[in-house]
Structure 1
């Protein structure tokens, strides 16, 4: 159809979401890099962070944790570079899984071989899951960490206390992240609607003059054919059946224009019963063939309010810009307008 490429419009409108994803991945890269270095220092007893003489199991789990964090950093780096990738969500889930496994393994070994209390660190993967996957992700991470806590030989009621603490973290962070995501989704929807209203005709849904000008500018230096259309008999429909019927007719004409155009072509409404069609790389032959398809489509009866069927015709004027020409849309539209009125006069005189 002769409409804008949906993917390009979506990419332009989703900048806020892509920016948020980049920020999440950059924060993950920074925090995980700090965690990687800290884990290695802890596992090798350097800097007084961990035991001065760590057992092999502690050194081993630190090395494993550092490796898993390095893999997650690779995923984050890809997320920074391609936040709109179709693999983004999958890689995000993998990061949460790797972070959760890393923290659980670290806590399990340190609780078993040191006197330090490290189980509160299990709140980290829950918060990470909340940021990435909202409340559902936070609760999933809480379930996994709770199972891990119950399997650890913790003194007193620390295990149950950790589970209760972590569910509060999951609920608070998850609910906030979900609320933010809903707000972002609503803002994106409103932004799309405003963008569409600013660039499209409200009656037909076709691009308006401003959007047509933008498309024409993209074709600067390239051949461009412009067709100007004026409906024959539209005033009679308005006078006989009323403006509501005229609106139905205009909307149907807009739908038919979109149906007969080729990919890359664009139809728009200037106002009243005037329409414009842009044919990038178009010449006289392609303009003639397009005009024939348009005439055939518009000449078919149109059912309006009350079930009545009306038929209108169309006068078409064409203008052409060769490669390298600097003629803008206004100049081409004026030229096509003159050609269209010559056709109208010729038809009346016949």
Structure 2
């Protein structure tokens, strides 16, 4: 799942935001054109039919405000994952509410036409963008405006009651949809993590490591294949639960050991588990010196005694096989791992001969 500085950018959520912005642009543009034609007296409208200069002025002000709303919508459409999206959405709601309330108050006052049902549109817009809380807030604002402008209108009960029903229905549905999308997003992220990480240690698995290596194709890469010495004895003596705990301890130590070993290009190491007692360390941009430094840190970290509880302390060692891919190299992770495995086998063979 990609992210944009603290803002989740799940594709379903981004798609919903784009749809909202497109529908907002389309509906607002329709209102803008109709209002402009009304103000200009074009088509079915004629200047003589306009109630007053005040109505004409109010219409042109509404056109300007709607144009501002469309400009904000374009920015939101272009960057739906921006940290400013919610603020822009709130601004659009405020502009739309201003236009609708202003039009209703002016038209009902000057033309005596019944236009208060348009206030329901403001409530629906708020529900879509700001869910139930936004719908209720806009219902309260539009109701307050109507009551303040027309306190003795017989339509007051309909404005209050009818629009509250609309706010609750549309706001609840919008909130439910957003919760559903967030649940899907969290489930997708969990499944993605399970597919790319080791269930026992939480380290990246082979698939994740392969993806990292593929993204570094053509660039220098150091690969360290690690195999624990003495791990089988821990399992046989203390049980698999103790062995699993030891693997978890080693995973933490490896992550800590290579921390800070960034390449000259600032790329950080990646520690993963292949399975069993085998681990793999990727060192992007690494040369011989960085690989040697990483190997020393790893050996020192692994051979420290590990406390497994109940008074059990064990010590294991590690065999390390190294493979280096130079700049411009095309070797895959499988090829590099095979090369590192052969180097590790040679190290184990030399150790057995020395013993």
Give the secondary-structure state (helix, strand or coil) at the position aligned to 1:47: coil
* Greater relative contact order (Cα < 8 A, sep 6+): 1
Alpha carbons 2:132, 2:174 under 8 Å: kept: yes
Alpha carbons 2:132, 2:168 under 8 Å: kept: yes
User: Greater shift after overlay, 236-245 or 301-310?
Assistant: 301-310
1:188 & 1:171 partners in 2: Cα distance? 25
Alpha carbons 1:201, 1:207 under 8 Å: kept: yes
Matched, 1:180 2:177: yes
Gaps of 5+ in 2: 261-266
Where does residue 11 of structure 2 map in the other structure? 15
Where does residue 311 of structure 1 map in the other structure? 315
1:57 & 1:348 partners in 2: Cα distance? 98
Report matched runs for 1:245-264 at 5 Å: 245-261=242-258, 262=260, 264=268
Matched, 1:38 2:42: no
Matched, 1:284 2:284: no
Where does residue 203 of structure 1 map in the other structure? 200
User: Greater shift after overlay, 49-58 or 215-224?
Assistant: 49-58
User: Greater shift after overlay, 295-304 or 243-252?
Assistant: 295-304
Per-residue deviation at 1:311? 1.9
User: Greater shift after overlay, 131-140 or 289-298?
Assistant: 289-298
1:69 & 1:209 partners in 2: Cα distance? 53
Alpha carbons 1:13, 1:191 under 8 Å: kept: no
Per-residue deviation at 1:13? 6.5
Aligned mate of 1:325, from 326, 329, 352:
329
Aligned mate of 1:267, from 249, 263, 271:
271
Q: TM-score scaled by structure 1?
A: 0.93
Equivalences, count? 346
Aligned mate of 2:217, from 213, 220, 226:
220
Find runs of 4+ consecutive structure 1 residues off by over 6 angstroms.
8-13
Q: TM-score scaled by structure 2?
A: 0.92
Matched, 1:299 2:308: no
Gaps of 5+ in 1: none
Where does residue 108 of structure 2 map in the other structure? 111
| CA offset digits 1:295-328 (Å, max 9, x no partner) | 2222222222435222221111100111222211
| CA offset digits 1:86-118 (Å, max 9, x no partner) | 111111111111111111111110010013111
> Structure 1 residues 172 and 63, CA, compared in 2 at 3 Å: closer, same or farther?
same
Alpha carbons 2:50, 2:56 under 8 Å: kept: no
> Structure 1 residues 12 and 108, CA, compared in 2 at 3 Å: closer, same or farther?
closer
| RMSD of aligned alpha carbons | 2.1
User: Greater shift after overlay, 248-257 or 130-139?
Assistant: 248-257
2:246 & 2:43 partners in 1: Cα distance? 79
1:215 & 1:326 partners in 2: Cα distance? 14
Alpha carbons 1:295, 1:313 under 8 Å: kept: yes
Aligned mate of 1:150, from 143, 147, 152:
147
User: Greater shift after overlay, 184-193 or 300-309?
Assistant: 300-309
